Amino acid sequence: MSDLSLYTHYTSLELRRHDHGVLEIVMSGAGTNKSELATVDANMHRELADIWRDIDRDSDTRVVLIRGEGKGFSGGGGLGLVEQMASDFEVRVGLARGAGPRYNAINCSKPIVSAIHGPAVGAGLVAGLLADILIAAKTARIIDGHTRLGVAAGDHAAIVWPLLCGMVKAKYYLLLCEPVSGAEAERIGLVSLAVDESELMPKAIEVANRLAQGSQTAIRWTKYALNNWLRTAGPAFDTSLALEFMGFSGLDMQEGIKSLRERCAPDFPGGSAVLDPHRLICGFSHSYSQNQGESLMTDTPGGTPPFGSIPGMSGFPQGDMMEKMCDMRS
């Protein structure tokens, strides 16, 4: 097995090579030793976005196996990072730019297997649910976590949950922030397979080895074609990400953080301060167009003007909408 010199700059992710070209990624992170759950800080957030490009360049890797360390797959974003995002605009902008490379995992040519055990929450869960084959322990607890915190379920949720388990199930679990067991996740189609926890890693390694020993051309080209379903959901991803990051500066976010600190149920303010997202997005587009001396209102469904029609945004690659919006700020 070859060395790992290509990955020496990764500090929050541990990498191990196995036979047949299987590369194992272990999410350890700063919080593992204290809580026995990997929590995602700014560095791990960046590494989880960047590593897929390096894997594509790694001729010794055929398949990736990603898992968490300790009691579960991921404890989500660290509370310190969440508080920084709520209070510091520049931190939000930096992480928004790092969220666009979710497409890096989708576009990675190598097949990805995730092995999910214990709690799988928030930012770390992204890596698990964007895998190509998802294997969960029956006792795993999958929780998106966004709405409990007081922000929109952006990031990966809007593009992958409806495709995996259907829109009505996605709305139920995302709007209510309901946990999903591994067994239930298999039943509704959120994961590929659920097994006893003692069988999780043996099964994940078995699947990874089968992929590694199969026709790489056939497997990679099939993955590319299938992932066009995710690429076509790009506008939904962009919108959800923009709404999520706008929510980080809101009162609900402050209440969400407070409730987590105090370990109590949140008391979200609600009321007239809640913005209708349709008016918010449509209003942004229309007011911007008026400033340019032209109207962007079109006959698109619901009367919502496409972001691609906004001057300066036409032709922008998917995932860059939030960055462009930030660059347009006064």
pLDDT bin (cut points 50, 70, 90) of residue 171 is very high
On the question of pLDDT at 318 being above 60, the answer is no
* Dihedral (CA of 205, 210, 211, 212) sign: positive
Q: What is the 8-class DSSP label of residue 233?
A: T
Rounded Cα distance between 110 and 120, Å, is: 23
End-to-end CA distance of the chain: 53
- Residue 199 class from Cβ within 10 Å (0-12 exposed, 13-18 middle, 19+ buried)? middle
Rounded Cα distance between 280 and 108, Å, is: 34
For residues 247-263, average pLDDT:
77
Residue type, 3: D
pLDDT bin (cut points 50, 70, 90) of residue 264 is confident
pLDDT bin (cut points 50, 70, 90) of residue 194 is very high
Query: 27-41, 235-249, 278-292: which has the highest mean pLDDT?
Result: 235-249
On the question of pLDDT at 155 being above 70, the answer is yes
On the question of pLDDT at 40 being above 50, the answer is yes
233-268 as b/e, with b when 16 or more CB fall inside 10 Å?
bbeebbbbbbbbbbbbebebbbbbbebeeeeeebeb
pLDDT at 166: 96
109-122 residue pLDDT tens:
999 999 999 999 88
Domains in the chain: boundaries: 5-230, 233-327
pLDDT at 273: 56
- In percent, the amount of the chain with pLDDT more than 70 equals 72
Cα 244-164-203 angle, rounded to 5 deg: 115
182: helix, strand or coil:
helix
Average pLDDT taken over every residue of the chain: 79
292-306 residue pLDDT tens:
444 333 334 444 444
The CATH superfamily label for domain 5-230 reads 2-enoyl-CoA Hydratase; Chain A, domain 1 (3.90.226.10)
Contact between 34 and 68 under an 8 Å Cβ cutoff? The reply is no
Strand partners, 1: none
Rounded Cα distance between 199 and 178, Å, is: 26
Structure tokens at 257: 């953080």
For residues 244-248, average pLDDT:
79
Going by C-alpha positions, the residue among 199, 185, 58, 196 that lies closest to residue 131 is 185
Residue predicted with more confidence, 165 or 38: 165
pLDDT at 306: 40
Residue predicted with more confidence, 196 or 266: 196
What DSSP letter does each residue of 262-313 carry, written as one string?
A: HTS------GGGPPPHHHHHHHHHHHHHHHTTS----SSGGGPPPGGGSTTT
Cβ-based neighbour number of residue 206 at 10 Å? 13
On the question of pLDDT at 169 being above 90, the answer is yes
* Dihedral (CA of 283, 285, 286, 291) sign: positive
43-77 residue pLDDT tens:
888 898 899 999 999 999 999 999 998 889 988 76
Task: Write the secondary structure of 19-30 as one string of H (helix), E (strand) and C (coil).
Answer: HHHEEEEEECCC
- Sheet (strand 119-121) strand order: 119-121, 141-143, 180-181
